[in-house]
């Protein structure tokens, strides 16, 4: 049975958000992250090699749970599932995306930016949501203000989260994990700096409120 989004968010305090430009970097990147405690990996569908990178990562890092990010359409959902995605992340939620994820049995972490969007997602059965773009959308004080009126909903803030601000997000009662790209900067991935990336991953895996 597929892992639920709740289980996915419990694997580590941070879900790396990855933009993979070079297929050759996929396997060592996945190992550097998952060997250091970051097991849930979001590969954004923003590059031509993203779908192939997901397969390469799952093969190279059996401990990793590889999913697809930046799902913007039902076609994206189908492509992600065909490439073996074990979960999906979307910047927002539409009825068509929700239908496609349900039809494919893909656990989905949908993005929301307002209470109305959160309620609409909850109506569709989603109780774990991505708060996006987290920093620009008001930061921890904004999401913290949702905790009481939107009780029961849990969030993964993503977008502008840093190692410095992550503890403040993780301290919120309605936050279960955060998303971020800081542990795999493009220049370090391009340089094959797997040891340094691994050190940042280990620090991210140890983050807490
Ligand atoms: C993105 O849009 O790529 C994600 O939200 C990650 O954002 P970040 O690069 O600010 O961590």
Per the rule left: phi > 0, alpha: psi between -120 and 50, beta: everything else, 12 is beta
In DSSP notation, 63-101 reads T-EEEEE---SHHHHHHHHHTT-S-EEESS--HHHHHHH
111 lines ligand 1 (CB under 6 A): no
Using alpha carbons, select from 200, 202, 205 the residue that is nearest to residue 189: 200
Q: Is the overall model pTM greater than 0.90, yes or no? A: yes
Q: Report the domain count for the chain.
A: 1
**Interval 121-146: pLDDT, tens:** 999 999 999 999 999 999 999 999 99
117 a catalytic residue: no
Q: Tens of pLDDT along 13-45? A: 999 999 999 999 999 999 999 999 999 999 999
Q: Say yes or no to pLDDT of 55 above 90.
A: yes
Q: What is the CATH number of the domain that holds 117?
A: 3.20.20.70
For the record, the structure tokens of 1 come out as: 């049975």
From residue 128, give the alpha-carbon distance in Å to each of 48, 107, 154, 197.
29, 10, 5, 28
Kindly report, residue by residue over 165-176, the tens digit of the pLDDT. 999 999 999 999
As beta bridge partners, residue 35 has none
Q: For a pocket test of ligand 1, which of 160, 169, 183, 186 has the largest count of ligand atoms closer than 8 A to its C-beta?
A: 160
pLDDT tens-digit profile of 153-169? 999 999 999 999 999 99
CA pair distance 205, 153, nearest whole angstrom: 23
Ligand 1 centroid distance, CA of 16 (Å): 9
Q: Which domain holds residue 78?
A: 5-205
Q: How many Å is the Cα radius of gyration of the chain? A: 16
Strand locations in the chain (E)? 14-18, 40-44, 65-69, 88-90, 108-112, 128-131, 154-157, 178-180
130, 154, 168, 195: the catalytic one is 130
Q: Can 168 be counted among the known catalytic residues?
A: no
Share of the chain above pLDDT 90, in %: 99
Structure tokens given for 56: 């390469």
Return the pLDDT at 1: 80
- State the ipTM, two decimals: 0.92
68 touches 45 (CB < 8 A) = yes
pLDDT at 120: 98
User: For atom 2 of ligand 1, which residue has the closest CA?
Assistant: 159
Query: Does the beta carbon of 101 lie inside 6 Å of ligand 1?
Result: no
Mean pLDDT, residues 90-98: 98
pLDDT, tens only, 80-90: 999 999 999 99
Q: CA 68 to CA 106: how far, in whole Å?
A: 10
| Cβ neighbours of 32 (radius 10 Å) | 27
State both tokens at 40.
């849930």
Q: Are strands 128-131 and 178-180 parallel, antiparallel or unpaired?
A: unpaired
Q: Which of 7, 31, 42, 196 is catalytic?
A: 42
Query: Residue 89: its pLDDT value, please?
Result: 98
Residue having the nearest C-alpha atom to atom 5 of ligand 1: 159
φ, ψ of residue 156 to 5 degrees: the values are -120, 95
């Amino acid at each position: 049975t597929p892992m639920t989004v709740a289980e996915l968010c419990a694997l580590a305090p941070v879900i790396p958000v990855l933009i993979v430009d070079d297929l050759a970097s996929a396997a060592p990147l996945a190992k550097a992250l998952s060997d250091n405690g970051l097991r849930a990996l979001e590969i954004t569908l923003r590059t031509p090699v993203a779908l192939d990178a997901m397969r390469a990562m799952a093969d190279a890092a059996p401990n990793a749970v590889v999913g697809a990010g930046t799902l913007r359409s039902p076609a994206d959902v189908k492509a992600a599932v065909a490439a073996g995605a074990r979960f999906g992340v979307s910047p927002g939620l539409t009825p068509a995306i929700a239908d496609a994820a349900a039809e494919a049995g893909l656990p989905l972490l949908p993005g929301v930016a307002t209470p109305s969007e959160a309620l609409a997602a909850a109506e569709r059965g989603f109780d774990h949501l991505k708060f996006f773009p987290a920093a620009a959308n008001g930061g921890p004080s904004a999401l913290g203000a949702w905790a009481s009126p939107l009780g029961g909903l849990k969030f993964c803030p993503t977008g502008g989260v840093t190692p410095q601000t992550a503890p403040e997000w993780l301290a919120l009662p309605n936050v279960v994990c955060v998303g971020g790209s800081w542990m795999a900067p493009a220049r370090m991935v391009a340089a094959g700096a797997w040891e340094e990336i691994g050190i940042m991953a280990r620090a991210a895996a140890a983050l807490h409120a």
